[in-house]
Amino acid sequence: MPRSETGGRTAPVTLSVIVPAYNEIATLEPAVRRVRAVPLDLEIIGVDDASTDGTAALMDRLLDARLLDRVFHHPVNRGKGAAVRTGIAAATGQAVVVQDADLEYDPAELPGLLDPIRQGRADAVYGSRFQGGPHRVLYFWHYVGNRFLTLVSNMFTNINLTDMETCYKLVRADLLKTLPLVSERFGIEVELTARLAQAGARIWEMPISYSGRTYAEGKKITWRDGVAALTHILRYNLFPPPGGWRRR
């Protein structure tokens, strides 16, 4: 990552924000407006995953209003991982992050999360919901499941994350685009962590706030996704890509 030679300041970094959405018409526009208000050099990429509630048309209107910079539409529903991979392929920023369209994560925290990358100290920064940031109190078993999956992932990757499943994973774009990601659905969180560990990436964690949704408010992850995540941990850690990577 470039560094300034004047006064020790770091050079500006363009951040590509990928907004994958499936049936998020109620929260998409507020989420995008909150991202656009962040004081960073941003590229915001919307990816509609064949929504049926008008989300696709709303994305096009946000593009016309220049709240989104680019929009992509999947003709059939493929899952979050596929939408994220579409966004990664299109991203032109120096760093990339995913912003879910459900208002659970606060975009105002992105500048702070970007700092370790901007300063050249990190290749990836995870925003952890379990390092003491303010959060809405919700489901006990979701908390237990997240911590268990993080523990099992850490056993395979040999890194000490506290929140492997966090949406906020800021990654240097030049590194991210070399990772052979194939996940179609929620396994993208497991796969990305495994591939970063295999690449020898310098990973930082920082506390973030979290305002989780209830199922009545539109939360989509269920216990089935937790079971699937266990199989993904085994798959992506026991069968790494041939050759691996050198640290960039």
Asked if residue 80 belongs to a domain, the reply is yes
Mean pLDDT of 127-155: 78
Asked if residue 245 belongs to a domain, the reply is no
Is the pLDDT at 89 greater than 70? The verdict is yes
Sequential DSSP letters for 134-145: -B----HHHHHH
Residue pLDDT, tens place only, 41-62:
999 999 999 999 999 999 999 9
Determine the structural domain holding residue 159 and report its residue range: 15-238
Asked if residue 6 belongs to a domain, the reply is no
pLDDT of residue 212: 62
Residue pLDDT, tens place only, 172-202:
999 999 999 999 888 899 999 999 999 999 9
Spatial strand order in the sheet of 15-21: 70-73, 42-48, 15-21, 95-98, 169-172, 124-128, 203-207
> What's the structural domain count of the chain?
1
Which of 57-61, 93-97, 164-168 comes out lowest in average pLDDT?
164-168
Indicate the residue type of 232: H
End-to-end CA distance of the chain: 10
Sequential DSSP letters for the chain: --B-SSTTPBPP--EEEEEEESS-TTTHHHHHHHHHTSSS-EEEEEEE-S-SSSHHHHHHHHHHTTSSSEEEE-SS---HHHHHHHHHHH--SSEEEE--TTS-S-GGGHHHHHHHHHTTS-SEEEEETTSS--B----HHHHHHHHHHHHHHHHHH----S-TT-S-EEEEHHHHTTS-----STTHHHHHHHHHHHTT--EEEEE--B-PPPTTTT----HHHHHHHHHHHHHHHHSPPTT-----
Asked if residue 246 belongs to a domain, the reply is no
Mean pLDDT of 208-234: 68
Asked if residue 167 belongs to a domain, the reply is yes
Asked if residue 127 belongs to a domain, the reply is yes
Average pLDDT, the chain: 87
Which of 14-23, 128-137, 239-248 comes out lowest in average pLDDT?
239-248
Asked if residue 103 belongs to a domain, the reply is yes
pLDDT of residue 46: 98
Asked if residue 243 belongs to a domain, the reply is no
Is the pLDDT at 18 greater than 50? The verdict is yes
Give the domain CATH number at 55: 3.90.550.10
